[in-house]
Structure 1
Amino acid sequence: NQDFIELDADTSLGNNHLNLLLRRNRELPQAALSEYKIDSIIVYISKSSDSTYSLLESSGLDDITIFATGDYLKPKVIKEAVRFNSGDLYSFTAYQTTLSRLNNLGVFSYVKIKYEASGPDSLSNLLNARIDLIMADQISLNLETDVITKSTGYAGPGVSVGISNSNAFRGAVNFQVDLKGSIEWQFGSKEEDQLGSFSYEFGINSSLTFPKLILPEKRDWTKNLVKQETSVNLNFDMLTRIEYYSMFSALTGLKYSWAKRQDIIHSFSPVYLNSVSLLETTPAFDSIVGENIYIRKSFEEQFIFGMRYDFTYDNTYKRQAQNVYAQLGVRSSGNLLDLLAGIGKDASERPYKILNTYYSQFVKFTGDFRYYLNGYNKTLVGRFYAGIGIPYLNSDVLPYVEQFFSGGAYSIRGFNARSVGPGFFYDPESNYIDQSGDMKLEANLEFRFGISKITKGAFFIDTGNIWLINEDENRPGSKFDLNTFYNQLAVGTGVGLRFDFSFFVLRTDVGFPIRTPYPQDGEHWLTGNGDAFSNAMFYFAIGYPF
């Protein structure tokens, strides 16, 4: 209550400085100095479409009474979200935690908690807590489309359709299914040994997210969390690149997410499994992997069974003069399998197999740091990304799906996707499928400015590369060297437009390569010969790049 606070300003310091003294009012009413306890807790649940004459049905659990215009939620869901009980001392922390938990359930469009004196006797020091909740739409449908064009002559449409139910089983359980598909065909001549007439990808992703931590037994430390989720996912993907291979992948995992504060989130997957299988290959692909053991092994060892942890600090939910986003992640694979597979075997028998399949063994570290300097109708964003993966024991290389790539709409925008690096390796006659590496460094700087209510312009510059930990004799110059890596950075710059519709963002960028990791005619920089403009890249994408 602002009437209970005094603010005194001392301006005698001069030089445009002053001292501020903040203190409570000396003549506070007795009621303001008293401790209050919670008496009753009443919850009202309705829909925005309800009329004022809608009938209320009464239910409840323990000390919470619930009035609702329909059978929307199980009382247990509300009970677990409310962090105060009848008879508790009023706590602002409990109020904030309850507010955050109710909002994080994802099923309400409106949440309000109000405290009122219990009964006519204001000296009883009892408060009634009233919680008003308005249900949001449970079913949502999203649709994304794009058009893919590549310098290799391939072009085609892509589409993704998703449907989700935010309140499955009346338990605030989010069930989501996404279908994605894309087709690419090549203009011009085709090879006889290709796997069909066009490349395609089809996938289905499904997830079930519960609004609590499902653990073997209850833990006291979970009571004051503002966010807690348990997610189970199951994904399938079929990819055919007609010039190289046909591949099938299946991924499943269990993930816990929790937060004591809104800006710090922890995620832990005690188990995740990703299995990738080559179904069919072309002679061109066989020739590539036959000549390079590194690439052959990266496709062979793609049975991944491990765990991962991510720490995220993100205060961008509220625009401030300065916002920060930071994510640190670590994941490992194959350690448990290696203990089992190695029983009774000698190290000379490596690589071991599980169920007649080679498994991947590695540890991987990633870091993503972003800084937002906000002004009126403009923002300067800086980003730095670093990652490294280390294969060991049962693996000589990282599996293909865990390797790092550089270039493209969300990376260095002056270069094709997955075309940069590794190191200063470059072979214009190379038939490598994608350029990949064990390590990545990337930095981006983007200045965004308002043009109209929904349109923003942007200037950007990106730099970075990928490298290998070990030298690959078929790709000389690809190994990371602390003394020379800075001379192997690709640099791209460009301009773009962002169409911000609040609920989603459309983005167009034109990127120009101004420095290559490798020298051309003795020079890395392209600014003096016109190649930067002749090799411009155009991107149409969904969302900001970072």
Structure 2
Amino acid sequence: MSFSKNTNSSIGFLLLLLSVLSFVACNSTKHLPLNTYLLKKNEVKLTTDKGITHRGELRDNINRLVAQKPNTYLILGSFPYKVWLYNLRYQKHVRDSLNVQKNKMLERPVIYDSAMVIRSTNNIRSYLFNQGYFYPQVEDTTIFSGQKATVVYRIKTGINFQIRKTILNVDDSTIRSLVKSSMNETILKEGLPFSMNLLEQERSRITNFLREQGYYKFTQENVVDFQLDTFNKDLVRDVYNPFEVAINFITAQKTHRNPTLDIRITIRAENHSDVYRRYAISDITVFPDFTGREDVNNSTMIVRNLNGVSFRYHKRYVKERVILKHIFLEEGKFYSQTDYDATINKLNQLGVFQTIRIFLLNDSTKEQTDNTGWLKAYIVMTPSKRYDITTSFDVSTGTTYVLGAMPAISLRNFNLGKGANLLTTSVSGGVESNYNNEVGNGFFQHFSLLTKTFSANANVSLPKFLGPFGNRFTKGNTPRTIIGIGTSLLDRLNYFTLTNTTANFTYNWRETDKKTWEFSPSFINIVRLPKTSDSFQTLLDSNSYLKNSYRPTFIEGENVAFTFSNQIANKGRSYSYVRLALEEAGGLMGAVSNFGISNFNFSQYFRFDFDTRRYINRRRSQLAFRFYGGIGIPYGNSPTLPYIKQYFVGGGYSIRGWRIRTLGPGSYYNPNDQNSNQIIDRTGDIKLEANGEYRFDMLQLFSGGIKVRGALFADAGNIWLTQPSASYPGGDFNFSQLGNDIAISAGAGARFDLAGFFIIRLDAAFPMKIPYNSIYNYGGWTGPFIKHNWGMSDILLNIALGYPF
């Protein structure tokens, strides 16, 4: 009965909400002039060939070409909130029209314009033509309903042309021979669907290839051209004539195959002496602290020559050898675009220069021939600020505490010892407090402290490899050595105090622009439990898993991690991220203990983690997915993983319907743990987690200074033990119980992007499926339509910085 009542009240609320939205939607046309229509939406109905694999991308591109966009809507496209706000303040905007432009929260109603529809159809037709669809059918229909208009674009792309072959037409025999030798890398592959974009890519490829061979003055703008040769020119004779388009479309459909074309690549240069001359580097001069043009001939500057490179500076800012290791241009070597780009990129990665520019000038002191020329290279840099201070502040609420806060501050020195060594020191602290209205008299006296945390860390990142690996990697791998130390303290009031001292030595390098490796030949953790309460000690004595997890221990091991990301390479398009990590500890200490040298506790375990993500970008939204998994296997003298290496879920960066470390393992449930004073962490040896978010633009405040984005999300997962435990019944991993053990939460949030500097995230989440379902009906499913007493207390609020993943 209670379930039925709750359902009816929820349905009633939804009906009320729909009624309000309907009224607001109708109100959006109240100030429109007579015989005008509000553009409600544009619909693109796309019909393509079955063989097209990029239909979604094609539809998105066509949507961008529609010249007139409707107003911004919320709540499934039913609430034009910016128009609604405009109408509320209509009289003010009539008197001051500029007010609308100043306030990004408001929008004038978009009035339907038939001329913009014609422009849109022409845009779409031209775009499809450039994509190789030489005879598309594009029709538009406007549907009027009351004082609103919906424009429907019906598009049949037809079959696009395919490339049959390419033909070279070059007026220089040497250039022709070089380009011909590179045609196995051509973008214009036989059988590939044709598009104008492929021609631009091929033009860039040929230009980059020749510049890579030393042809510095070879440019793509006025040297490389293309002509299209098709066997049936009637198919492309008049794409704007609807009768011709219809005939072409029918003709192509009858053939049941794609028509083909040949592409003639023409390379011609008016000034052969410059364009077809191969240039080499004659001299390299570096200005690490450039102040202006007068530095070029300033005789008071310090000058030092190192390995054929001249350094000129006012004051030594960075050691010459550090800069030299990141310069890829070489004296006497032919110019290479790759060396040019790598020099700028690698010097930028040092993080000590604000701007880096390279000027290449003809060397008049060297003899120029018809085939060879000489260039002087001037590398001009301006120093960046040496120090940087950043702060952060995270706030959260939870089911077993009312308020949590964690401020942090870090100081970075980008040029330690004038070697472009990055020194980072950071300090953070945090508290979690409970609220009890029955304790104390004043407001603040109702709060009681539950947890205190503190951490301090320092690490230095060197732009080179230390040790025996130094000469095995080229400077193109961007090698770095990272040495770090730190300490942290976790004080659970009335329970225990745990400290962790860390040290690590790590190598970091890039295999390619998309692949990065990290290898730590040695890391150390010293975990101590200097203080325990009598009640907590009693709990440890009765729970072997907890006792082994919290025991003081020494951890020495090594780890390796591989990361793949094509975010930068894809330049704003959809991208992927993958990280694999493997860690081992205790092998060396186990060997040492065999000789009777060690007489203290040390941990032994293997641990494997993977993290894969996919980001699908759209014009005003993004779909983000993450799947994370990990397993830790203790061995030797370790019955469990140490506490700091165990897995947990929950919190603002994990399953957001639960507070951090309060879920799992498995289906284990203890009603006593729900007491607000019982805050023993839930940890495990195995973790599986999946997250999905739909992120979308909402509005802009203060003339775009603050961008507000919304999010709808769902999280699922849990942690488990590798072995059954009497202390945690149902906590071990079992494939047959996996469906029951998965916890699911969902929610919505807002992200406030403050001028691109940082993002404040507000997420509200609630459990949808609880794995300890013995206390609920419906197989663990819960929520506003199932749980009879569901309310605001079931919603968990998280405030944090940045995105959850």
- Is residue 535 of structure 2 the alignment partner of residue 284 of structure 1? yes
Instruction: Choose the corresponding residue for 2:777, options 522, 530, 533.
Output: 522
SS across alignment from 1:84: coil
**Aligned equivalent of 1:348:** none
The CA deviation string for residues 230-250 of structure 1, in whole angstroms up to 9 with x for no partner, is 110010112211131011210
The amino acid across from 2:413 in the alignment is N
| % identical equivalent positions | 31
SS across alignment from 1:93: helix
Instruction: Summarize the alignment of residues 486-505 of structure 1 with structure 2, pairs less than 5 Å apart.
Output: 486-501=739-754, 502-505=756-759
The Cα of 1:34 is off from its aligned counterpart by 4.3
The amino acid across from 1:143 in the alignment is T
Paired with 2:489 and 2:459, the residues of 1 have a C-alpha distance of 18
The Cα of 1:256 is off from its aligned counterpart by 0.6
Greater share of residues in helix: 2
User: What TM-score results when the alignment is normalised by the length of structure 2?
Assistant: 0.62
For the 8 Å contact 1:513–1:532, the answer to whether it is kept is: no
Paired with 2:517 and 2:683, the residues of 1 have a C-alpha distance of 29
User: What TM-score results when the alignment is normalised by the length of structure 1?
Assistant: 0.90
For the 8 Å contact 2:528–2:552, the answer to whether it is kept is: no
**Aligned equivalent of 1:339:** 591
**Aligned equivalent of 1:423:** 666
Paired with 2:259 and 2:402, the residues of 1 have a C-alpha distance of 65
**Aligned equivalent of 2:804:** 545
Residues matched between the structures, number: 529
Structure 1 residues 184 and 480, CA gap change in structure 2 (3 angstroms): closer
- Is residue 760 of structure 2 the alignment partner of residue 509 of structure 1? no
Instruction: Summarize the alignment of residues 325-336 of structure 1 with structure 2, pairs less than 5 Å apart.
Output: 325-336=577-588
The CA deviation string for residues 430-449 of structure 1, in whole angstroms up to 9 with x for no partner, is 35611111111111110111
The Cα of 1:262 is off from its aligned counterpart by 2.4
**Aligned equivalent of 1:204:** 456
The amino acid across from 1:163 in the alignment is L
Paired with 2:266 and 2:377, the residues of 1 have a C-alpha distance of 26
Structure 1 residues 156 and 488, CA gap change in structure 2 (3 angstroms): closer
**Aligned equivalent of 2:188:** none
For the 8 Å contact 2:387–2:413, the answer to whether it is kept is: yes
Structure 1 residues 511 and 257, CA gap change in structure 2 (3 angstroms): same
**Aligned equivalent of 2:162:** none
For the 8 Å contact 2:565–2:576, the answer to whether it is kept is: yes
Mean Cα deviation higher: 323-332 or 254-263: 254-263
- Is residue 421 of structure 2 the alignment partner of residue 178 of structure 1? no
Mean Cα deviation higher: 150-159 or 230-239: 150-159
**Aligned equivalent of 1:308:** 559
Paired with 1:25 and 1:53, the residues of 2 have a C-alpha distance of 41
Structure 1 residues 424 and 77, CA gap change in structure 2 (3 angstroms): same
The amino acid across from 1:505 in the alignment is I
**Aligned equivalent of 1:65:** 310
SS across alignment from 2:584: strand
SS across alignment from 1:517: coil
For the 8 Å contact 2:269–2:275, the answer to whether it is kept is: no
Larger Rg: 2
The amino acid across from 1:450 in the alignment is D
The Cα of 1:315 is off from its aligned counterpart by 2.1
For the 8 Å contact 1:9–1:18, the answer to whether it is kept is: no
Instruction: Choose the corresponding residue for 1:321, options 573, 585, 593.
Output: 573
- Is residue 688 of structure 2 the alignment partner of residue 433 of structure 1? no
Paired with 2:264 and 2:522, the residues of 1 have a C-alpha distance of 51
SS across alignment from 1:483: helix
**Aligned equivalent of 1:444:** 691
Structure 1 residues 133 and 498, CA gap change in structure 2 (3 angstroms): same
The Cα of 1:201 is off from its aligned counterpart by 1.9
The CA deviation string for residues 24-52 of structure 1, in whole angstroms up to 9 with x for no partner, is 615583544444322111112336xx466
Instruction: Summarize the alignment of residues 67-466 of structure 1 with structure 2, pairs less than 5 Å apart.
Output: 67-119=312-364, 121-123=367-369, 124-153=372-401, 155=403, 157-188=405-436, 199-216=451-468, 218-225=470-477, 227-300=478-551, 302-317=553-568, 319-343=571-595, 355-430=598-673, 431=678, 433-451=680-698, 452=700, 453=704, 454-466=707-719
For the 8 Å contact 2:411–2:426, the answer to whether it is kept is: yes
For the 8 Å contact 1:160–1:178, the answer to whether it is kept is: yes
The CA deviation string for residues 389-414 of structure 1, in whole angstroms up to 9 with x for no partner, is 11111211111101110111000111
For the 8 Å contact 1:390–1:398, the answer to whether it is kept is: yes
Mean Cα deviation higher: 242-251 or 401-410: 242-251
Paired with 1:20 and 1:281, the residues of 2 have a C-alpha distance of 80
The Cα of 1:424 is off from its aligned counterpart by 1.0
The CA deviation string for residues 201-224 of structure 1, in whole angstroms up to 9 with x for no partner, is 222100111111112364253233
Paired with 1:127 and 1:247, the residues of 2 have a C-alpha distance of 63
Mean Cα deviation higher: 11-20 or 384-393: 11-20
Mean Cα deviation higher: 55-64 or 96-105: 55-64
TM-align CA RMSD:
2.5
SS across alignment from 1:81: coil
Paired with 2:531 and 2:264, the residues of 1 have a C-alpha distance of 73
Paired with 1:437 and 1:343, the residues of 2 have a C-alpha distance of 33
Paired with 1:321 and 1:152, the residues of 2 have a C-alpha distance of 41
For the 8 Å contact 2:473–2:479, the answer to whether it is kept is: no
Structure 1 residues 38 and 484, CA gap change in structure 2 (3 angstroms): same
For the 8 Å contact 2:283–2:375, the answer to whether it is kept is: yes
Instruction: Choose the corresponding residue for 1:8, options 223, 227, 238.
Output: 227
**Aligned equivalent of 1:351:** none
The Cα of 1:198 is off from its aligned counterpart by 5.8
For the 8 Å contact 2:397–2:796, the answer to whether it is kept is: no
Paired with 1:149 and 1:440, the residues of 2 have a C-alpha distance of 24
The Cα of 1:70 is off from its aligned counterpart by 2.9
For the 8 Å contact 1:422–1:466, the answer to whether it is kept is: yes
For the 8 Å contact 1:301–1:360, the answer to whether it is kept is: no
Paired with 1:325 and 1:398, the residues of 2 have a C-alpha distance of 28
For the 8 Å contact 1:462–1:492, the answer to whether it is kept is: yes
For the 8 Å contact 1:461–1:493, the answer to whether it is kept is: yes
